[in-house]
Each structure stands twice: as C-alpha cells, then as structure tokens.
Amino acid sequence: SKGVVRVVVTGAAGQIGYSLVPLIAGGKMLGPGVKVELRLVEIPPAMGALEGVKMELEDCAFPLLDKVVCTSDAAEAFVDVDICILVGAFPRKAGMERKDLLAKNAAIFKAQGEALNSVASPNVKVVVVGNPANTNALILSTFAPNVPKSNITALTRLDHNRLKAMVALKLDKNVTYVDGAVIWGNHSATQFPDVLNCKVDGISDPIREAVGGEAYLRDELIPKIQKRGAAIIAARGLSSAMSAANAICDHMNDWLHGTGDKYVSMAVFADGSYGISEGIVYSMPVRTMKGGSYEIVQGLTVDAFSQEYMKATEAELRAEREDALSIL
Ligand code: NAX
C-alpha cells in the first residue's frame, strides 16, 4: 500500500535476522513514522523457523509494521522491493577451504542477482551482509546489470563501529566525540581500520599519536579490529549478531537520510579513488546525501603505512574475484 517501504531480508530465520527484524519493524532503520512491509526469505528447511519469527513479529504489535511475507522464492520477494538486505549465505563448516565457501556462495549470489535483475526496481538499494560479503556483492552485481552498481553495497559498518568504539574507549571519550574513522578494503581479517583522519573532540594531538603511535596501531588496534569477529565467536560460541543487526540499520539509515558533512565506511564499487582501480567492491569513506545518493570522500590522508595495508586487502579482493570468476 501507499507510503509503505518494502524491505527484503534473506536468511531471516538466522541469528542476525532474529536481531534485525525487530529493529526494522520498530523503526530503527527507516526512521520514525515510516511504515514497512517485511519480506522474509529463507531456504525451504528453515521455513518452519521463519514462521516462528513471523509469529513473534506479530506478537510485538509494532505500530509501523504493515505486513510480513515469508517465502523461499527470492524472485517473489524481490518484486518492486525498495531495500534488500542479503544476510542469508552458506556458512563456513569445519575443514572447508576458503575457495569452497566462495563457490557455495557464488552460486547463491548469482541466482539472487538474476532474480533481482528480472523483477527488481532499478532504484532498489542493496546491502550484502553474508560472507564473503564484498565478493558476494560483486557477483550479485555481475548478474544484475539492470541495477546500477552504485545501488549495490556490502556491509563494513560493523567494523567501522568497532573501530570508533575502540578509539573512544582508549581515549576515555563517548563515541559521539569520535569522527572520521575509516575501514578500507575487505570485510575480512585483511581489512584496514584507519585512524589517520580521525578527530576526537577535546584531543588536539593527532589521534594516531594520542592512541599510542604506529607501534600500537600495528601490534594492537589493527589486529584487534581485524580479529574482533573471531573474539566474539570465542566468547559467545556464536558469531556477532546483535552488533551486526545494529550496523545494518546504521548503514541503511545513513544511506537513506544522509551523513551531512560526516562520512561513514561502506563497501562500494572501486572507481580509482585512492589508487584502487575498478573491478572489486572495496570499503571506502563514503558521504551520503539525503535521498539516497552517495560519493566516495576524496582527499583523505593516506601515507606509506596506510598504503601497505590498503594494498594487502586489495590484493585479497582481487584474488577472491579471480576465484569467483573461475567458478562462475
Ligand atoms: P546463520 O547461519 O545464523 O543464518 C543464516 C541464515 O541464512 C540461515 O537461517 C540459513 O538458512 C539462511 N540461508 C542460507 N542460504 C540462503 C539462501 N540462499 N537464501 C535465503 N536464506 C539462506 O548466520 P548469521 O550469524 O545470521 O550470519 C549470516 C551471515 O552474515 C554469515 O555469512 C556471516 O558470516 C555474515 N556476517 C557478516 C558480517 C558483516 O559485517 N558483513 C558480520 C556478521 C556476520 O558474521
């Protein structure tokens, strides 16, 4: 019906889905007063569990929730969808090689790309969350040429939020005082969490020095962010879900409503900015404009220290791309 935003969530009966759908139906993603139709997608064996999620959504009596549709047919869900959150993916199992995981997921994102291409509006905004997220987004786009590349992104906002929070903690400040953090590259252990352009209210020293200089970055902060997902698994026995759901809402909320003069990290198609040439989906500093467009922020400081990390994560993404192309 009129004025209702249609949102697809794939993998909606999974861990992240369970944390995410109440946030969306509660207004956290689209903003106050915006009605939402949720289209939840799962594979056939999980449809029973998905019905349970739907029952709980009904039991929340969310005023903004217009309708909930459950389906195992992505093409059905994608018709005229406004926002597409692709969480569902094949999980990494013990003994699985990285290439096997890529192959399983390449097939999923190829099929979803084809479905998106045939039925979705060209204005659809897509965020890929399922791993390997950047390369899954690349595959999706390859098979969805009717959807502009700029409408297909992958999630690195969780990494961005982790970095921001860790800098705040280190400097004993509230997170709202920390500005200008960037995640570069892949949502993987090669990502480069960068504080060179960070500013923190009330701290006049360059933030890199204030937190402890290059040695601290190299030996502590960077590896801690890169391995944060593994630390959560070790502690909880399950991978991050609450913080991932929160980051998905942040990503979409900023994309829809604009960041003003601030910027955030989003994995987007590389366009040559910062020496990262086309062909991969690479996390960049992005400024979003009200209404849903965005641009890669230009002119941030990148030094030799940054270059080394940025090239390493780029190389990993190019290798993933080669692997994906050799499979498809
Ligand atoms: P779960 O295994 O709990 O849930 C995934 C769900 O997806 C399952 O219910 C499964 O049935 C469903 N699914 C699988 N294939 C599907 C398909 N073709 N169509 C629709 N649904 C399908 O995993 P969860 O913890 O929710 O994580 C989901 C994905 O997010 C994983 O790939 C994970 O690695 C990735 N993550 C990405 C993050 C990011 O920042 N980009 C952070 C969190 C998370 O680790």
Residues with CB under 6 Å of ligand 1 are 10-11, 13-17, 41-43, 46, 87-91, 108, 129-131, 133, 155, 158, 187, 229, 239-241, 244
Distance (angstroms) between ligand 1 centre and the Cα of 106 equals 14
pLDDT at residue 241 above 90? yes
270-294, pLDDT tens digit by residue?
Answer: 999 999 999 999 999 999 998 899 9
Q: How far apart are CA 110 and CA 104, in angstroms?
A: 10
Q: In this structure, which residue's CA is closest to atom 22 in ligand 1?
A: 88
19-43, pLDDT tens digit by residue?
Answer: 999 999 999 999 999 999 999 999 9
Q: Are residues 182 and 269 in the same domain?
A: yes
Contact 191, 316 (CB under 8 A): no
Q: Are residues 32 and 143 in the same domain?
A: yes
| Residue of 239, 248, 251 to mutate, ligand 1, most atoms within 8 A of C-beta | 239
pLDDT at residue 2 above 70? no
Q: In this structure, which residue's CA is closest to atom 17 in ligand 1?
A: 88
Residue 328 — pLDDT band, cuts 50, 70, 90?
confident
Q: Residue 164 has what DSSP assignment?
A: H
Q: How far apart are CA 10 and CA 137, in angstroms?
A: 14
Q: Are residues 119 and 182 in the same domain?
A: no
Ligand 1 atom closest to the CA of 18, numbered from 1: 26
Residue 65 — pLDDT band, cuts 50, 70, 90?
very high
Q: Which of 32-41, 46-55, 87-96, 272-281 has the lowest mean pLDDT?
A: 87-96
Mean pLDDT within 11-22 = 98
Q: Which of 121, 154, 187 corresponds to the end of one domain?
A: 154
pLDDT of residue 175: 97
Contact 7, 248 (CB under 8 A): no
Distance (angstroms) between ligand 1 centre and the Cα of 75 equals 19
User: How far is Cα of residue 243 from the mean position of the Cα atoms in its chain?
Assistant: 12
Q: How far apart are CA 73 and CA 111, in angstroms?
A: 11
Mean pLDDT within 242-258 = 98
Closest of 220, 186, 212, 209 to residue 313, by C-alpha: 186
Q: Are residues 174 and 298 in the same domain?
A: yes
Contact 145, 117 (CB under 8 A): yes
pLDDT at residue 226 above 80? yes
Q: Are residues 273 and 233 in the same domain?
A: yes
Q: Which of 120, 154, 188 corresponds to the end of one domain?
A: 154
Model ipTM? Answer: 0.99
pLDDT at residue 193 above 70? yes
| Residue of 41, 129, 238 to mutate, ligand 1, most atoms within 8 A of C-beta | 129
Q: In this structure, which residue's CA is closest to atom 1 in ligand 1?
A: 14
Q: Which of 126, 154, 182 corresponds to the end of one domain?
A: 154
Q: What is the CATH number of the domain that holds 99?
A: 3.40.50.720
Question: For strand 178-179 and strand 199-200, is the pairing parallel, antiparallel, or unpaired?
Answer: antiparallel
Q: How many domains does the chain have?
A: 2
Residue 308's Cβ-count burial label (10 Å; 0-12, 13-18, 19+) is exposed
Domain boundaries, position 309: 157-327
Q: How far apart are CA 41 and CA 85, in angstroms?
A: 10
Q: What is the mean pLDDT of the chain?
A: 96
Q: How far apart are CA 165 and CA 182, in angstroms?
A: 12
Q: Are residues 129 and 233 in the same domain?
A: no
Q: In this structure, which residue's CA is closest to atom 27 in ligand 1?
A: 16
Q: Are residues 182 and 313 in the same domain?
A: yes
Distance (angstroms) between ligand 1 centre and the Cα of 199 equals 34
187 an active-site residue?
yes
From 160, 187, 251, 257, the catalytic residue: 187
Mean pLDDT within 305-323 = 97
Q: Are residues 171 and 269 in the same domain?
A: yes
Q: Are residues 26 and 137 in the same domain?
A: yes
Q: Are residues 141 and 207 in the same domain?
A: no
pLDDT of residue 183: 98
Q: Are residues 113 and 164 in the same domain?
A: no
Q: How far apart are CA 6 and CA 77, in angstroms?
A: 9
Q: Residue 298 has what DSSP assignment?
A: P
Q: Are residues 186 and 217 in the same domain?
A: yes
pLDDT of residue 97: 82
Residue 95 — pLDDT band, cuts 50, 70, 90?
confident
Residue 78 phi/psi, 5° resolution?
A: -80, -10
pLDDT at residue 1 above 70? no
pLDDT at residue 98 above 90? no
pLDDT of residue 96: 82
